[in-house]
C-alpha cells in the first residue's frame, strides 16, 4: 500500500503562521482588488450549473505552514474556472490543517469575524469576481464570545449573500469540534446565486436527512457539503468512506437534488510543543458529485494520490431537474402533519 505524504503542525506554530499570512494578505488585498476589477466579467444567470468539487492536501508543505493552503486553494479555483466551472466547492476549513484533532485553546486565535476586515473573505471575493464563479467559503467564525464553523456564500460578482453556521457539531477522538464551535443558529439555508439556488451544509450535517430535506424544500438546485473526514485515531482499521458517500447519495435520490462533497486528503500529524507526534488522521479524499438520482457522476482519487490539488466537474441542468422532480411527485405527496415525531429527541409524543 502506498504511504500518503504527510503534513505536520503544532497549534502554537500554526497560530503564528496564520497571523503572519493575515498581515501579508492585508498588504496584497488592495493591489489585487484593482486587478480583479479590471479583468472581471459580468456574471449572467444560467440554467446550467457547472460545479467543481475540489480536494486539497497540506502534504509537502513546511510544518505548520498555512500560506501553502491558500495558494493551493487559489490554484484549485483557477483550475476549476479553466474547466468552465461556475460553482466551486473547497473542503471544510480548507485554509489550514484540521485543527480540531485535539482541544487546544491556542487554536481559538484562528477565528475571524465576518466583516470587511476578514482578509481571507476579501481575497475570495476578488477571486469570485475575477473568475466569474460562485464560491462558498468555509471559515472559522468568531462573533463576540461565540465561535462557529461557518460557510460564507460569495456570488459570482463578489457579493456576500450570507452565512450558514454548522448545525450538528461532532465530538469524538480526533474530531473534537464541540470544544471550538457553538452549534449554528442560522437554520438550513439556500442561497439565490447567479447559477441557481445553492444549499450548503457542513461535514457532520451531511449524515442527517433532515438537513438535506430542509434545503430541498427551500428549492435547492444543488446541495453542497464541504467536508473533513478520514481515519479514526482510536481505531485505524475503521473506514467509513463508502458509508459516507452512500448517505449523501441517499439524500440526492430522496430529494432528487444533486449533491456535491469536497473532502481534504492526506495525513495530518498533530505535534506537541516539543515536536513529537501526538496524533494523526488520514483524510479519505474521494470527493464526489451525484446526479439527481444519487448516482455518482464524478469522483476524486483516494488518499494515496500525491497531487496536492485535485478537482472534478459535472454539469447540472437545473431546469430539467426541476421539471423531473415536480413530475415525480415526491414533494406533492409529502404529509408534514404526520412527521411531528421529528420534533422530539427520543421519538416520544410532543410534550412528554
Distances (CA, A) of 191 to 136, 162, 164, 215, 226: 10, 8, 10, 10, 16
Closest CA to 89 of 214, 216, 262: 262
- Strand 288-290 versus strand 87-89 pairing type: unpaired
> What is the rounded radius of gyration, in angstroms, for the C-alpha atoms of the chain?
20
Residues 249/40, Cβ–Cβ less than 8 Å: no
| Residue recorded with cell 498533530 | 270
82: alpha, beta or left? (left if phi > 0; alpha if psi -120 to 50): alpha
Q: List active site positions.
A: 92, 166, 203
Closest CA to 36 of 67, 69, 70, 74: 74
State the Cα–Cα distance between residues 319 and 263, nearest whole angstrom.
28
Residue 159, Cβ density class (10 Å: 0-12 exposed, 13-18 middle, ≥19 buried): middle
Residue 333 gets which letter from DSSP?
Answer: T
Closest CA to 318 of 296, 297, 291, 298: 291
Amino acid at each position: 500500500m502506498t504511504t500518503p505524504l504527510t503534513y505536520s503542525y503544532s497549534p502554537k506554530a500554526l497560530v503564528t503562521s496564520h497571523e503572519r499570512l493575515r498581515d501579508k494578505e492585508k498588504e496584497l488585498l488592495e493591489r489585487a482588488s484593482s486587478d480583479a476589477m479590471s479583468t472581471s466579467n459580468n456574471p449572467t444567470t444560467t440554467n446550467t450549473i457547472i460545479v467543481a468539487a475540489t480536494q486539497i492536501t497540506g502534504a509537502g508543505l513546511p510544518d505548520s505552514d498555512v500560506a501553502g493552503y491558500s495558494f493551493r486553494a487559489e490554484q484549485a479555483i483557477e483550475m476549476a474556472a479553466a474547466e468552465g466551472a461556475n460553482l466551486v466547492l473547497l473542503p471544510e476549513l480548507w485554509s489550514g490543517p484540521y485543527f480540531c484533532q485535539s482541544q487546544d485553546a491556542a487554536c481559538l486565535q484562528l477565528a475571524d469575524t465576518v466583516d470587511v476586515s476578514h482578509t481571507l473573505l476579501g481575497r475570495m471575493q476578488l477571486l469570485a469576481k475575477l473568475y466569474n464563479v460562485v464560491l462558498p467559503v468555509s471559515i472559522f467564525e468568531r462573533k463576540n464570545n461565540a465561535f462557529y464553523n461557518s460557510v460564507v456564500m460569495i456570488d459570482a460578482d463578489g457579493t456576500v449573500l450570507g452565512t450558514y453556521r454548522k448545525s450538528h457539531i461532532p465530538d469524538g477522538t480526533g474530531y473534537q469540534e464541540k470544544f471550538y464551535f457553538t452549534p449554528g443558529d442560522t437554520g438550513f439555508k439556500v442561497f439565490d446565486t447567479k447559477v441557481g439556488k445553492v444549499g450548503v451544509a457542513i461535514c457532520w450535517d451531511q449524515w442527517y436527512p433532515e438537513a438535506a430535506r430542509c434545503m430541498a424544500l427551500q428549492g435547492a438546485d444543488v446541495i453542497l457539503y464541504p467536508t473533513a473526514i478520514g481515519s479514526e485515531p482510536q481505531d485505524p482499521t475503521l473506514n467509513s468512506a463508502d458509508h459516507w458517500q452512500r448517505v449523501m447519495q441517499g439524500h440526492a435520490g430522496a430529494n432528487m437534488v444533486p449533491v456535491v462533497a469536497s473532502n481534504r486528503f492526506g495525513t495530518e500529524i498533530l505535534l506537541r510543543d516539543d515536536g513529537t507526534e501526538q496524533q494523526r488522521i488520514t483524510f479519505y479524499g474521494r470527493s464526489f458529485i451525484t446526479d439527481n438520482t444519487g448516482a455518482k457522476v464524478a469522483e476524486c482519487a483516494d488518499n494515496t494520490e500525491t497531487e496536492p490539488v485535485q478537482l472534478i466537474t459535472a454539469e447540472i441542468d437545473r431546469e430539467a431537474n426541476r421539471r423531473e422532480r415536480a413530475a415525480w411527485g415526491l414533494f406533492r405527496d409529502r404529509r408534514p402533519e404526520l412527521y411531528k415525531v421529528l420534533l422530539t429527541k427520543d421519538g416520544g409524543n410532543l410534550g412528554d
